[in-house]
Each structure stands twice: as C-alpha cells, then as structure tokens.
A = this chain, B = another copy of it.
Amino acid sequence: MAHKSLGEKYLLGSGRVPKIVDHDERRLELVDATWRIIARLGIESATMREIATEAGFANGALKPYFPTKDTLLTFAFGHVFNRTNERIAEVTSGLSGLAALRAFCVEVLPLDEERINEARIVIPFWQKAINDPGKAQIHRESMQQWLDAIRRHLAEARDSGDVSTAVDDDSLAGQLLNMLLGAQIAAALLPEGQTDLGLDRQLEGFLSLLTR
C-alpha cells in the first residue's frame, strides 16, 4: 500500500472525517525513537516492540507507517545521511577551498556526544549493508557525493594556492574520506563519557600537509 503524502491532513478524501495524524510527521517521530534506541541500547535492542514503546505506542502501532521493520530501518538510515548532508550544506555555504573543506570535515567528524551517537547508528548500518546490496549502494552513492564535494573544495584550494602538494586530488580525497570514516569507528568504541580523540588536531595536521 502506498504511503500518504505530506499535507493530507487538510486534503480530505471522499469520507467526511479528516485524518488526525500527519503520516510523514509520524514517520519522523518513529525514526527519532529508533535512533534513540540504537544510540542508547544498540541495534540488537531495536525491536519493533522496543521502538514502539520508546515512541509511546503499543506493539502494532508502527505497522500503518512502516509495513515492515526493514522499511523502517532503511528510512531511518537514509534520514541520517540526509540530516548530515543538510548540516554540511549549511556550514559550507558561502565558503570555498580549504575553509569549506575544514568546515565539511568538522561537521562529519564525531567531535561531540551527538555525532558520536550518529557514529553508533551508522556502524550498524554498515554492518547490515555488508549483506544487503541495496543498503550498500545507498552508502556508495553518498560517499561518491562526499568525494565529489571534497574534490571540488580541493580544486578551489589549489586555485588559491592553499593546496600545492604534488599528490593528486583523487588520492587526497580518498585519504580524507577514509580518515573521516575511520574516525567514526574510533569514536563509537570510546569508553562511556569520553569524547576526545584529538580528531580536530588530526584534521589540522592533515590539512597542513597539503601545502608544500
């Protein structure tokens, strides 16, 4: 069954009783609850019952909004990427070159509790993607997008002279992206409470390597 689209609350059908719940909004609420469970208890504890309870509902209440658990999880994971990309767009808007690159990385790196939680969500996604070609492709497409952005900033930085190394941008972009991904792992496996890994210093170090 197709899901209803935003705004349906005010677009009545042939019936006389309007919808009470905005389905899109509800889906986001459920996704929020899912994130909280995964961040707090881990993906193993993210059962339909647990998620429903966290969202304030009983067992079967998720069905009309997500017909299966996989639908819910795929939507939830996709939303992490969207949110991150929105934040990236915000912080890099108006910037270019090395400044944009720095802002990009600072936004992706797990530097505070919130982004460490996002790391705790993306790692289970990676694990599921290993045996789920659809999820793996979502990941590859997102990473391709990030690689393009990084290369764009690198090219700008070369124009302005901030990047002058003989190492080519394709290689540099790959190195930087892998660093960003690796940092997610280190951060997610930090002991409770600890948040500092010296990642900001690592970033500055890498960026300063780019100037010959």
Chain A residues near B (Cβ < 8 Å) = 41-45, 120, 123-124, 126-127, 129-131, 133, 136-137, 139-140, 143, 165-168, 170-172, 174-175, 177-183, 185-186, 188-192, 197-199, 201-202, 204-206, 208-210, 212
Contact = CB atoms under 8 A, between A and B. Distances in A.
Given A178-B202, A179-B182, A182-B182, A209 B126 contact: no
Copies in the complex: 2
A200 B85 CA distance: 29
Nearest to A181: B182
A7 to B, nearest CB: 36
Nearest to A166: B208
A186 B181 contact: yes
16 contacts: A44-B131, A123-B123, A124-B130, A126-B185, A136-B191, A140-B191, A168-B205, A171-B198, A171-B201, A174-B197, A174-B202, A175-B202, A179-B179, A181-B186, A209-B210, A212-B212
Nearest to A133: B191
B133 A209 contact: no
A177 to B, nearest CB: 7
A168 B189 CA distance: 25
